[in-house]
Amino acid sequence: MTLPDKINIALAALTACYVYLTYRLLRVASNTNDTNRNLLKEQFRLSNFPVLNFTTYADKDLNYLKIQNIGNTPSYDLDIWLFITLTDEELTPEMYYDKYVADKNKKYIKFDNIKDSDNWGVSDRGCYPVLTPKASIHIPLNYPPIDEWFFDVLIQYRDVLGNNYYQRLLYKSNHLDGQPYVADEIEPPIPTLIDRIDFTDDKLDLKKLNEAFSWLYESHKASFYSDYLVTGTQVGPSLKWRLMYE
């Protein structure tokens, strides 16, 4: 092998080493950039995290659930479900259907799903495009019969990035601190990211529902929708309840 050949081989080896080291450095830089980008994105998400507060109160012999944005950023695309479980053991689904469902709406009730359930009740839904800071939604708890029932609240909402959060609260009657109902369970304790779930979607994949959503979906199927009751507003879920600004 001649000297020029040896020199060419050595140069080729050095070039290969240079290319490899450059590739490694670029990968490290790329990973660092990805990490920094993800950290910045997460920091932005947390700094724009909507904070909602839930309370109940009584006004003029009627109880309300108040949902208020107490954070500094708006929450978007709110989807709120209420599921009321009736505790009167003497009241059967058949009796409720006859007494509290408006005659013109009885044809819309899927009664077989209700009569075969051990935890039947009433459901209601409200949807809002945005809830600005300090704004609040006031939900009248006037579902017949007005008694000491308990109810679940399922709320989903988005931040400015489009991330969807959810939280479920179980309310029971309360006679201690002035609130007619108090949250007995909050799951998860902090609103958690999840893909948006719509109980009215006929293509909903039930296998993807977690335990909380599975339970509430069963409550949804076994409920009389509030708009069909004699006290129903017949306005649909969009902007259903009073919205107030402070």
14-51 pLDDT tens trace: 554 544 556 565 565 556 655 656 666 556 556 678 89
State the DSSP string of 118-163: SS-EEEEEEEEEEE-TT-EEEEE--PSS-SS-EEEEEEEEE-TT--
Residues 24 and 54 in one domain: no
Residues 31 and 150 in one domain: no
Nearest 10 degrees: Cα torsion 185, 194, 201, 107: 10
Residues 223 and 134 in one domain: yes
Q: Which residue has the higher pLDDT, 31 or 220?
A: 220
Structure tokens belonging to residue 37? 């980008």
Residues 173 and 223 in one domain: yes
**118-147: per-residue pLDDT in tens?**
788 999 999 999 999 999 999 999 888 866
Residues 32 and 56 in one domain: no
Residues 39 and 127 in one domain: no
Burial class of 132 by CB neighbour count within 10 A (0 to 12, 13 to 18, 19+): exposed
Residues 36 and 56 in one domain: no
Mean pLDDT of 204-216: 84
Residues 205 and 84 in one domain: yes
Quote the pTM value: 0.81
Residues 54 and 34 in one domain: no
Mean pLDDT of 54-63: 90
Residue-number span of the structural domain to which 112 is assigned: 50-244
Residues 22 and 142 in one domain: no
Q: What are phi and psi of 238, to 5 degrees?
A: -65, 120
What is the predicted pLDDT for the residue at 243?
Answer: 95
What is the predicted pLDDT for the residue at 47?
Answer: 67
- Under the banding of pLDDT at 50, 70 and 90, the label for residue 7 is very low
Give Cβ neighbours of residue 177 (< 8 Å, ≥ 6 apart). none
Give the range among 30-34, 90-94, 154-158 with minimum mean pLDDT. 30-34
Percent of the chain with pLDDT over 90: 41
What is the predicted pLDDT for the residue at 37?
Answer: 60
Give the end of a domain, one of 47, 67, 83: 47
Residues 143 and 230 in one domain: yes
Separation CA 33–CA 49 (nearest Å): 24
Give the end of a domain, one of 26, 47, 68: 47
Averaged confidence pLDDT in the chain: 83
What is the predicted pLDDT for the residue at 19?
Answer: 45
> Strands of 62-69's sheet, edge to edge?
52-59, 62-69, 136-140, 242-244
| C-beta of residue 215 within 8 angstroms of C-beta of residue 206 | no
Residues 96 and 8 in one domain: no
The pLDDT of residue 230 is above 80: yes
The pLDDT of residue 228 is above 70: yes
* Structural domains in the chain (count): 2
